[in-house]
Amino acid sequence: MELIVIYSGDFGEKVIGNLVNYSTFCISCAEACTHCKEGRYSFADRITGIFKLPAPSLLPVLIEDSMRAYLPKEIPKADIAIVSEIHPDLLLELPRILTDSGSGIKAIIVPQERPGRIARLQIEEACARAGIEIAFPKPFCDLQPRNGQPLIKKFVDEFKVGRPEVRVEVDKSGNIRQVDVLRSAPCGSTWFVAKQLAHVEVRNTRELHEQISASHHSYPCTASMEKDPAIGDTILHKAGYIIRTAVKEGVK
């Protein structure tokens, strides 16, 4: 499976860095780094195109003409596109442009790391007409393919990113011996959280939750701290609950 990334902002670069897994990407542990990800994976050869667009704040509030002036001139062959934080009018036009490009892209993932204007219904309708799978995970670490989304499921399975999944080994004293990452948050934060949980007592729920939260914030999570009306909380808090649930399930 091959993908392209169309993005604006720091989050897209974090996702690319985690997928490529270059040696200096994760610096969260600083001098305490044990190179836990080194040589474990790299999907650099699966990424056929990376396109950074101008920040929406630098573009007109409404873009009615000259869409192609802001989007890639040529789109390479791929199966799936990750589209992060681009102008909502460009996003709305993207399904048609991908179809007309002949790239063969039949799935789009649009992670939502902050509240904002997005014509989700219209985008879904455009994708349905074009036979393109579409997902709007909020945040990206909540990506769970729905029925009828074989390409997005294949992406999650092959790239091992999406809703985090871990396996937690506990010693006889009830302390965490090791946390193995089976599937990471797309930004890579799961690897850092996993390392920080060594020696924490699983039966001390308060300590465990505090350590998960502190590690998740320290990575740092780039999701917004602005309250999102659609979920009734901040997207960062939702991301924190997701990794907490993953660790709880990993202990089981």
Calculate the average pLDDT of the chain.
Answer: 93
Q: Is the dihedral of CA 28, 248, 82, 36 positive or negative?
A: positive
Token pair belonging to 93: 């036009």
Owning domain of residue 192: 165-251
Q: Are residues 151 and 174 in the same domain?
A: no
Q: Residue 195's pLDDT is what?
A: 94
Q: Residue 124's pLDDT is what?
A: 96
Domain limit, last residue, from 141, 159, 177 = 159
Measured in whole angstroms, how far is the alpha carbon of residue 129 from the centre of its chain?
26
CB of 53 within 8 A of CB of 73?
Answer: no
Q: Is the pLDDT of residue 66 over 70?
A: no
Q: Are residues 151 and 181 in the same domain?
A: no
- The pLDDT tens digits for 182-213 are 999 999 999 999 999 999 999 999 999 999 99
% of the chain at pLDDT higher than 90? 82
Question: What is the band of 65 on the pLDDT scale with cuts at 50, 70, 90?
Answer: low
Q: What is the DSSP letter of 184?
A: B
Q: Is 171 helix (H, G, I), strand (E, B) or coil?
A: coil
Q: Residue 33's pLDDT is what?
A: 82
Q: Are residues 123 and 238 in the same domain?
A: no
Q: Residue 116's pLDDT is what?
A: 82
CB of 41 within 8 A of CB of 64?
Answer: no
Q: Are residues 210 and 150 in the same domain?
A: no
* Higher pLDDT among residues 218 and 27, named by residue: 218
Q: Are residues 120 and 49 in the same domain?
A: yes
Q: Are residues 137 and 203 in the same domain?
A: no
Domain limit, last residue, from 159, 193, 209 = 159
Q: Residue 189: CB partners within 8 Å, gap ≥ 6?
A: 141, 216, 219, 221, 243
Q: Are residues 122 and 76 in the same domain?
A: yes
Q: Are residues 89 and 192 in the same domain?
A: no
Q: Are residues 11 and 122 in the same domain?
A: yes
Q: Residue 62's pLDDT is what?
A: 85
CATH number of the domain encompassing residue 66 = 3.40.50
Q: Residue 32's pLDDT is what?
A: 81
Token pair belonging to 58: 């630098």
Q: Are residues 74 and 118 in the same domain?
A: yes
| C-alpha atoms less than 13 angstroms from C-alpha of 107 in its C-beta half-sphere | 19
Q: Residue 12's pLDDT is what?
A: 95
Question: CA of 21: how far to CAs of 15, 28, 136, in Å?
Answer: 10, 14, 24
Q: Residue 222's pLDDT is what?
A: 86
Question: What is the band of 252 on the pLDDT scale with cuts at 50, 70, 90?
Answer: confident
Q: Are residues 147 and 30 in the same domain?
A: yes
| Rounded-to-10 torsion of CA 213, 146, 229, 226 | 40
CB of 11 within 8 A of CB of 111?
Answer: yes
Q: Are residues 155 and 176 in the same domain?
A: no
Question: What is the band of 31 on the pLDDT scale with cuts at 50, 70, 90?
Answer: confident
61-75, 108-122, 219-233: range with lowest mean pLDDT:
61-75
How many domains, the chain? Answer: 2
Domain limit, last residue, from 159, 175, 199 = 159
CB of 244 within 8 A of CB of 206?
Answer: no
- The pLDDT tens digits for 84-130 are 999 999 999 999 999 999 999 999 999 999 998 788 999 999 999 99
